[in-house]
Chain A
Amino acid sequence: MLYLELFLQGLLQGSIYALVAVGLTLVYGLLRILHVAHAGLYTLGGYFGVLVYNSSGSLMLSGIVATFGVGILGVIIYRLCYEAILDQPPFVPLIASIGLFIAMEELYRILFGSYGVSYTNPPLQQMLPLGGLYLREGEWVTILVSIILIGGLAWLSSRTRLGLAWRATVTDPQMAESFGIDPIRVRYFNFFIGSALAGTAGMIVGILNNLVEPTMGSVPSYKALAIIVLGGLGSVRGTLVAALALGVVESFGTIYLGNVLNRDAIAFVFLILVLMVRPQGMFRGV
């Protein structure tokens, strides 16, 4: 039973990683940018969630603001920061992205205070044991939301014209454009979806921890990079599998290796081991 619980805790952590990393992999797949500031948007989702909930008391409203607000901000970041430097070598947008991320963290600290913000009346904290498994309401909701959002993304990209245009642009932007697809709109859409998922993840984590801090994105900023490398750069399916696998490895590692290695070290040892066997990552990317 303990193993099953640890496994479930791992999937839970993994599904949060997945929500964050998918956006990163989408951006990389389309534009070859390592979008470190993505983690700053994740933090912003946490802030939107807690601030809207504390003032309105509506979980639905704060979820909508966190998801759509962050999605729109992701598009704005693309428009203002990346679009002008797309033709530069890849390290230029990477450095811009790192700078942006640091600036975002400090901006949150100045705007919302260094002590962090907590829910005055934290939602979804009750224990809800189902079939002998002890998870909080918030944790069940996390698993549910992840399945819905990522399932929706899969449906969108494989079953709709928009998704077709999207995938066509990833595969061959010039060919797609000659078939009448507007690549600029595809990029906006790409950033919107990726950022919205990160915003949702940020809000969820804010509820689970009952704490949103300026530096909340620091771990996801590099761990999500590890995950997309692990999954095979640019492969959405690979990213999902890698995120869940990493969550489970960390969950067991925390208990059985915790006195030797910390959580992050376990994650990176796992990354190195996988890359030694499969240098291209778990799945072939773009």
Chain B
Amino acid sequence: MKLKIIISSIPALFMFFGIAWADTVKVGFNVPLTGFAAADGESALNGAKLAVNQANANGGINGKQIELVIYDDQASPKEAVPIANRLIEKDGVKVAVSGSYSGSTRAAAGVFQAAGIPYISAYAIHPGITRAGKYIFRTSFMGEVQGAAGALLIGQTMQIKRVVVITLKNDFGKSLAAGFKAEAANFGIEIINEYEYSIPDRQFGPIVAKVRADKPDAIYASGYFFTAGPLVNQLRSGGVTVPVIGQEGYDSEQFIKIAGAASEGVIITTSLDRDSNSPETRSFITEYEKLTGNKVDMVAASGHTALNVVIAALRIAGTSNPKAIRNAIAQTQLNAATGHISFNTLGEVRKNVQVQIVRNGEWHYHSEIRDQILLAPPES
């Protein structure tokens, strides 16, 4: 009798697992897990995983569990294209998210658009990404928008007029600088010099020596935590004491670790307000630290936000029709860890810019930029 039950339950068991396997909702995720961008990749992936875990604990998508299909793209366009094809054709995903940099995201966006699969850029900022077409969205600021916010912060909020610009020479730094320079004059800012560096640079001795001679009243410097940390450290120990204004690339605990005491007083524009009272942000901050043991950063918050936009759209549209999912994403009205998310016709996010400052070795609230005209992303 016992044996009979076991034998008769075997097909049921198979069916159960078979259904369980077929019944997950797959979400594609390309992210740099090796190579130079692996640190940001790790944060983005953890943020995305947290969003998936939270949604699955709350019943998934209409009872189905969400499965993140993850590929390492090394932040390289030539890796991203085959990954996009694989996600679409082999894994059969109906929606995907980029946890990667602009180069790979832009390359993959074309593939997803051609296949009619919705694709969200979590934190890649190149203006060309959403212009790939109607199926491509972005939950972070375009570089130009954030650069303009930097100009408002320096010229209007801080009332500083003589500025040196230090630009990271890639799409990230270049589009930030373009946005900053386009608005600088409107806020009475005079750019007395601009210097550029490339992403492997960690030694800024010559630039520091020149900036000391330039005697600016503030420095607007783009970069990631691994370039900005050494830069700010070297500026301060090189005797340059004027305010340094950065952006979301700095937004990590690692920046404070690298720059040490020199990080004190550094101000950035970003998407994440660590002192926010919103329940979404608060729960993200606690849960992320519980999951990873690390403090939150902008990239993790962006990965978390992008996945939550996808999850919300899947709950509305069901899980099989990419066009319905795309339309649901376009209609998004969601409170996420990085603020209230909605999209314009180009698929660009509309939200306020957060300004954070380092105080006592931690990121804290400085102010918020709410100028919706200045912050309006292009519609086409």
Residues on A lying within 8 angstroms of B by beta carbon are: 2, 5-6, 9-10, 12-13, 106, 109, 114-116, 118, 122, 125-127, 134, 136, 139, 205, 208-211, 213-215, 218-219, 250-252, 254-255, 258-259, 262-264
Interface centre among A12, A136, A258, A259 (most CB of B within 10 A): A258
Whether A254 pairs with B207 at a CB distance below 8 angstroms is: yes
**Pair A264/B200 contact, Cβ less than 8 Å:** yes
Interface SS of A by simple majority:
helix
Whether the pair A259, B196 counts as a contact (CB closer than 8 A) is yes
**B220 on interface, CB distance cutoff 8 Å:** no
B201 within 8 A of A: yes
The reply to whether A211 and B258 form a contact with Cβ atoms under 8 Å apart is yes
CA distance A13 to B203 in the complex (A): 8
Taking a contact as CB atoms closer than 8 A, the residue among A13, A215, A258, A264 that contacts B195 in the complex is A258
Can you name the residue of chain A whose Cβ is closest to the Cβ of B238? A134
Taking CB as reference atom, which chain A residue is nearest B297? A115
Binding site for A on B (CB under 8 A): 33-36, 38-39, 41-42, 169, 194-198, 200-203, 205-207, 209-210, 212-213, 226, 229-230, 233-234, 237-239, 254, 257-260
CB distance from A96 to the nearest CB of B (A): 20
**Contact between B258 and A134 (Cβ–Cβ < 8 Å)?**
no
Give the residues in chain B near A109, CB-CB below 8 Å: 34, 38
A252 and B230 alpha carbons, distance in the complex (Å): 20
Q: Which chain B residue has the least Cβ–Cβ distance from A10?
A: B206
A210 to B207, CA, bound (A): 18
The 10 closest A-B pairs by CB, nearest first: A9-B205, A114-B38, A262-B198, A5-B209, A209-B202, A209-B230, A114-B39, A251-B206, A115-B39, A219-B200
Q: A114-B41, A118-B257 are in contact. List 19 more A-B contacts (CB 8 A).
A: A6-B209, A114-B33, A115-B39, A116-B226, A125-B260, A126-B237, A134-B209, A136-B234, A208-B230, A209-B258, A210-B233, A211-B202, A211-B230, A252-B206, A254-B195, A255-B195, A262-B197, A263-B197, A263-B201
Chain A nearest Cβ from B36, distance in angstroms: 5
Smallest Cβ-Cβ distance to A3: which chain B residue: B209
The reply to whether A12 and B38 form a contact with Cβ atoms under 8 Å apart is no
Q: Is the CB of B42 within 8 A of A9?
A: no
Q: Are A127 and B239 in contact (CB under 8 A)?
A: yes
Q: Is the CB of A125 within 8 A of B254?
A: no
| A116 & B39 in contact (Cβ 8 Å cutoff) | yes
CB distance from B297 to the nearest CB of A (A): 10
Q: Identify 5 residue pairs between A and B in the complex whose beta-carbon atoms are under 8 Å apart, listed by A's number.
A: A114-B41, A209-B258, A211-B258, A218-B200, A251-B206
Q: Given A211-B226, A254-B197, A262-B197, A114–B207 Cβ distance below 8 Å?
A: no
List residues of chain B with CB within 8 A of the CB of A215: 35-36
Contact of A127 with B196 in the complex, beta carbons under 8 Å: no
B39–chain A nearest beta-carbon distance, Å: 4
The reply to whether B202 and A9 contact each other, CB–CB distance below 8 Å, is no
Determine if A2 and B210 form an interchain contact, defined as CB atoms under 8 angstroms apart. yes
The secondary-structure label for the interface of chain B is helix
Contacts of B42 in A (CB 8 A): 114-115
A2 contacts across to B, CB distance below 8 A: 209-210, 213
Which residues from chain A contact B39 at a C-beta distance below 8 Å?
114-116, 213
Complex: A208 Cα to B169 Cα, angstroms = 22
Q: Is the CB of A255 within 8 A of B202?
A: no
Please report the C-alpha to C-alpha distance between residue A66 and residue B239 in the assembled complex, in whole angstroms. 30
Contacts of B202 in A (CB 8 A): 205, 208-209, 211
Give the residues in chain B near A5, CB-CB below 8 Å.
Answer: 209
Set of chain A residues within 8 Å of B230, measured between Cβ atoms: 208-211
Which residues from A are CB-within-8-Å of B203? 13, 205, 208-209
Q: Tell whether, in the assembled complex, residue A259 and residue B194 are in contact, meaning their CB atoms are under 8 Å apart.
A: yes
Q: How far is the CB of A31 from chain B (nearest CB, A)?
A: 28
For the complex, give the distance between the alpha carbons of A5 and B205 in Å: 9
Min Cβ gap B44→A in Å is 11
Cα(A9)–Cα(B203), bound, Å: 9
Question: When the two chains form their complex, are residues A134 and B206 in contact, meaning their CB atoms are under 8 A apart?
Answer: no
User: Are A258 and B197 in contact (CB-based, < 8 A)?
Assistant: yes
Give Cα A114 to B31, complex, Å.
13
Please, which residues of chain A bring their CB within 8 A of the CB of B36? 215, 218
Please give the distance in Å from A222's CB to the nearest CB on chain B.
10
- What is the CA–CA distance of A140 and B254 in the complex, to the nearest angstrom? 27
CA distance A251 to B205 in the complex (A): 8
Residues of A within 8 A of B194 (CB): 259
From A6, A114, A136, A219, contact of B206 by CB (8 A): A6
A117 (CB) vs chain B CBs: closest residue: B257
B237 lies within 8 A of A210 (CB): no
- Taking the closest CB of chain A, its distance from the CB of B38, in whole angstroms, is 4
Q: Which residue of A lies closest to B170 (CB)?
A: A262
